[in-house]
Amino acid sequence: MSGPVVLEFGASWCPHCQAIQSDMAATLATHPNVQHIQVEDGKGKPLGRSFRVKLWPTLVFMRDGQVVSQFVRPSSEEIAKGFAEL
């Protein structure tokens, strides 16, 4: 994929994933050029395994198909840092 992309691995029922949604929404609103893709992850799902996802949420920040940074159960500061790195 070209341009800035954030992959968000998690599950809709996960309380840790739900906890970051307000920070993600606020940050995405100020970065309209960033494509956000939520990936419903789970046991045996190959895409999550290819990014070594072990805990949710895991955010993978990519630019032009290359991983720039990756955060597991990110704080609001880490979310902001990931967007700044894009």
pLDDT at 46: 86
Q: How many domains does the chain have?
A: 1
pLDDT in tens, 17-56: 999 999 999 999 999 999 999 999 988 788 888 899 999 9
CATH number for 64: 3.40.30.10
Domain that holds residue 12: 4-85
Indicate the pTM of the whole model. Answer: 0.94
Cα 9 from Cα 61, distance rounded (Å): 11
Question: Which letter does DSSP use for residue 3 in this model?
Answer: S
